[in-house]
A and B are shown apart, each in its own frame.
Chain A
Amino acid sequence: MKPQVAFFDFTSCEGCQLNKLNFENDLLDILKHVDLVEFREAMDDKADHYDIAFIEGSISSPSCVERIHDIRRRSTTLVALGACAVNGGVNAMKNLHPIDEVRETVYGDDKYLFATLPAMAVSSVVKVDYEVRGCPMTQQDFLRLLIALVLGKQPPKYGSPVCVECKLNENECLYNRGMVCLGPITRGGCEAACPSVGQFCTGCRGLLDNPNLDGMLEVMTSHGISLDEAKKRMLLYNSNEVQL
């Protein structure tokens, strides 16, 4: 029997889901091997149970907390898709400021009209079995995981920094070109997508297991940016992980 697969979006841009609708060449083949039972962005259907539930987005409101519990209860395997779901992503930058100030600056006197929480990783609230990192996740990375799950195998894990893949692509180091890049502390698996087209690594796949943050700050500041600016760059995708 084909696995029953569903996609859910929480606080996010829905770009990771969109990347799946962008599987133009492979979409029909993928659908031969899984039953897509729920995907609100593209279809009306609803289901009661999911073999694999893919979760995009951060948990950032009381209704998000209730909904993710309900989905977890009805799912055999739960996968966090993309930076927002894996560690809070860019949403977590709001956690760097006092929450009342954040609300007041947007809604003014109506600041208590809409309930909000700090932006959290899905794994802060319920158990996450697997993750696909990146902002957005790459289609290849998603497919590798999906194929492994359909075949009952263990999905690949990435332990080395973006720099390894950048070197394999024979790129000149961006630090040599006067740019400041987070490749040395960022988990690989993206095939160095940004440095390979001349743009610095923003750290969207999150930190390595044992990043040398002090060393990274030293490298960054020795290449012409202030310590303050270096820390901000590091926090872009890692506000919930880095304590500076």
Chain B
Amino acid sequence: MSRDLDIKVHHLTRVEGHGNIVVNMKDGVLEKAHLSIVEPPRFFEAMMKGRSFHEAAIITSRICGICSLGHQLTSLVTTEDALGLEISEQTVLLRKLLVHGATLQSNILHAYFLAAPDFLNVGSVFPLIATHKDVVLRALRMKRLANDIGDIVSGRAVHPITPVPGGFTRIPEKAELLEIKRRLLEEALPDGLETIETMKALAGAIPQFERETEYISLKHADEYALYEGDIFSSDSGAVPVSEYLNVTNEFVVDHSTSKHAKYNRSSYFVGALARWNNNHAQLGPEALAAADAMGLKPNCHNPYMNTIAQVVEAVHCILDSVRIIDKLIENGLKNEKPNQTPTRYGRGVGSNEVPRGILFHDYTYDNKGNIVKANCIIPTGQNLANIDDDMLKLVPEIVDKSKEEITLNLEMLVRAYDPCISCSVHMLEVDFIE
């Protein structure tokens, strides 16, 4: 079919940050199909130059409000690696609890508020207050609990306060943790199971589209990797975090203020679906049952199913949070002070799985503990090339549909990746020339 198509979605809604979808087809030949990133660059490198290790995490968490906990923890891990700061088991457990809280909050926000309106043919969550009030209230309840985990353990869910290099400035009290545990079991778990039913009912509206690609995430021997592990590629296996530059290979393209990335192919996928594909065997029976109920199978190649993988992870985060709280209390909460005495100065690399995928920070410190060089590689930036490749395959497959339907399918595709555009144009990759 020889068709002309000219689609331009200016400032795509229900995503974090500013992006445009651009598609051009002439006489049935696809000339252009990409996500154009138009968010103003922020130049974090200028902000980081010469800054003390006490400030690094405070600044990098401001790359993104939605992902602030992720940036903060990755920044702390990186600083600790660079300065040789040992941390306690309690610190690791509290951080893992925070990761679960942030993942739960972010995944629920995306599934209910940003993605679900597409499945129900409405423009936002707000009309659903009238038609599906119980569902909206359930989503708000789960988000509130997830944010309360952040407020209680880190002082504030958006731009956390208490996690600092070497530990925490405040340790939560036992009673606070027990109350979170009670709410996880009595509120969040039933709500999570209801969420599976809701998503099952909506699953029919998820477009059928397959494109096998390379899936990259952390992988850990003992657990579903979120806080720590090695880099793992579904194509070529494990790579140590310290060698991340061999994986990310960033490059500039003229349609995006955010750089793109590629490893073994022209693009790769990071995020919940990559974690699911690489690490699903390490989930508990409840999360696996949730995946089964919603039709998510291992080695899933439909990017629209990323939202479903996020819901599966929400179930995992709820249950694993309970396990972590039990462990913290069994160990006995200790009022530890953060270990902030450097044993060396130099370069450190850190990586965590944040809700949108694998995140890398890389800092070099001088012998006063001030940053001389910094680099951050963001999940959304890593996904951009993969989104463009998806579009190139998707548009010809749906070219017989109306322009409106094609546009909606493309918007839903981009939203499925849950992109975080503020993050992707943080621009913190540079050598400082002293």
Most buried by B among A31, A40, A64: A40
Counting CB contacts under 8 A, is A107 at the interface?
yes
Cα distance A110–B260 in the bound complex, in angstroms: 14
Write out the residue numbers on chain A whose beta carbons fall within 8 Å of the beta carbon of B42.
11, 60, 91, 94, 119
**Segment with Cβ contacts to B, from A69-77, A153-161, A192-200:** A192-200
Tell me whether A14 and B46 are in contact (CB under 8 A).
Answer: no
Counting CB contacts under 8 A, is A214 at the interface?
no
A101-118 CB mask vs B (1 if < 8 Å, else 0) is 011011110100110100
Tell me whether B161 and A105 are in contact (CB under 8 A).
Answer: no
Q: How many interface contacts (CB-CB < 8 Å) are there between A and B?
A: 170
Counting CB contacts under 8 A, is A21 at the interface?
yes
CB-based nearest B residue for A202: B58
**Chain B 293-349 residues near chain A, CB threshold 8 A:** none
CB-based nearest B residue for A92: B47
Write out the residue numbers on chain B whose beta carbons fall within 8 Å of the beta carbon of A232.
50-52
Tell me whether A102 and B65 are in contact (CB under 8 A).
Answer: no
B129-163 CB mask vs A (1 if < 8 Å, else 0) is 10000001100110110010000000111110110
CB-based nearest A residue for B48: A93
Counting CB contacts under 8 A, is A12 at the interface?
yes
Cα distance A171–B164 in the bound complex, in angstroms: 19
CB-based nearest B residue for A41: B16
Tell me whether B123 and A14 are in contact (CB under 8 A).
Answer: no
Tell me whether A136 and B47 are in contact (CB under 8 A).
Answer: no
Tell me whether B162 and A197 are in contact (CB under 8 A).
Answer: yes
**Segment with Cβ contacts to B, from A42-50, A122-130, A162-170:** A42-50
Counting CB contacts under 8 A, is A27 at the interface?
yes
Tell me whether B62 and A13 are in contact (CB under 8 A).
Answer: yes
**Chain A 182-209 residues near chain B, CB threshold 8 A:** 193-194, 197-199, 202
Cα distance A153–B156 in the bound complex, in angstroms: 30
B377: shortest Cβ distance to chain A, in Å?
14
Tell me whether B13 and A97 are in contact (CB under 8 A).
Answer: no
Cα distance A19–B125 in the bound complex, in angstroms: 16
Cα distance A106–B250 in the bound complex, in angstroms: 12
Q: Select which of A9, A15, A28, A114 is within 8 A of B129 by beta carbon.
A: A28
Write out the residue numbers on chain B whose beta carbons fall within 8 Å of the beta carbon of A106.
41, 43, 45, 427, 429-430
Cα distance A63–B10 in the bound complex, in angstroms: 13
Tell me whether A63 and B40 are in contact (CB under 8 A).
Answer: yes
CB-based nearest B residue for A27: B140
Tell me whether B422 and A105 are in contact (CB under 8 A).
Answer: no
Tell me whether A43 and B124 are in contact (CB under 8 A).
Answer: yes
CB-based nearest B residue for A194: B161
**Chain A 9-32 residues near chain B, CB threshold 8 A:** 9-19, 21-22, 24-25, 27-28, 31
Cα distance A25–B47 in the bound complex, in angstroms: 36
Counting CB contacts under 8 A, is B59 at the interface?
yes
Tell me whether A107 and B252 are in contact (CB under 8 A).
Answer: yes
CB-based nearest B residue for A93: B47
A17: shortest Cβ distance to chain B, in Å?
7
Tell me whether A90 and B62 are in contact (CB under 8 A).
Answer: yes
Tell me whether B45 and A13 are in contact (CB under 8 A).
Answer: no
Q: Select which of A13, A25, A97, A116 is within 8 A of B422 by beta carbon.
A: A13
Write out the residue numbers on chain B whose beta carbons fall within 8 Å of the beta carbon of A66.
none
Cα distance A27–B170 in the bound complex, in angstroms: 30
Write out the residue numbers on chain A whose beta carbons fall within 8 Å of the beta carbon of B254.
110, 113
Cα distance A42–B15 in the bound complex, in angstroms: 7
**Chain B 11-62 residues near chain A, CB threshold 8 A:** 11, 13-18, 38-43, 45-47, 49-52, 55, 58-59, 62
CB-based nearest A residue for B55: A236
Write out the residue numbers on chain A whose beta carbons fall within 8 Å of the beta carbon of B50.
232
CB-based nearest A residue for B168: A198
Cα distance A97–B109 in the bound complex, in angstroms: 37
Cα distance A114–B253 in the bound complex, in angstroms: 11
Tell me whether A43 and B14 are in contact (CB under 8 A).
Answer: yes
Tell me whether B162 and A45 are in contact (CB under 8 A).
Answer: no
A26: shortest Cβ distance to chain B, in Å?
10
Given contacts A15-B66, A31-B126, whether A102 and B162 have CB atoms under 8 Å apart is no
A197: shortest Cβ distance to chain B, in Å?
4
B430: shortest Cβ distance to chain A, in Å?
4
Counting CB contacts under 8 A, is B68 at the interface?
yes
CB-based nearest A residue for B37: A114
Counting CB contacts under 8 A, is A135 at the interface?
yes
Write out the residue numbers on chain B whose beta carbons fall within 8 Å of the beta carbon of A150.
none
Tell me whether B14 and A135 are in contact (CB under 8 A).
Answer: no
24 A-B pairs in the complex with CB atoms less than 8 angstroms apart = A11-B42, A12-B422, A13-B62, A13-B66, A13-B422, A14-B64, A15-B66, A22-B158, A25-B144, A27-B140, A41-B15, A41-B16, A43-B123, A44-B117, A91-B42, A91-B47, A96-B46, A116-B41, A136-B159, A194-B155, A197-B155, A199-B164, A202-B55, A236-B58
Which residues of B are in contact with A by a Cβ distance under 8 Å?
11, 13-18, 38-43, 45-47, 49-52, 55, 58-59, 62-66, 68, 109, 113-114, 117, 123-126, 129, 136-137, 140-141, 143-144, 147, 155-159, 161-162, 164, 169-170, 252, 254, 257, 422, 427, 429-433
Q: A-B pairs with the 10 shortest C-beta distances?
A: A15-B65, A43-B124, A198-B169, A44-B123, A24-B144, A94-B46, A93-B47, A24-B140, A105-B430, A61-B40
Other 8 A-B pairs with CB < 8 A, given A94-B43, A194-B161, A199-B169 = A13-B65, A18-B158, A22-B147, A113-B252, A116-B43, A197-B170, A199-B161, A229-B52
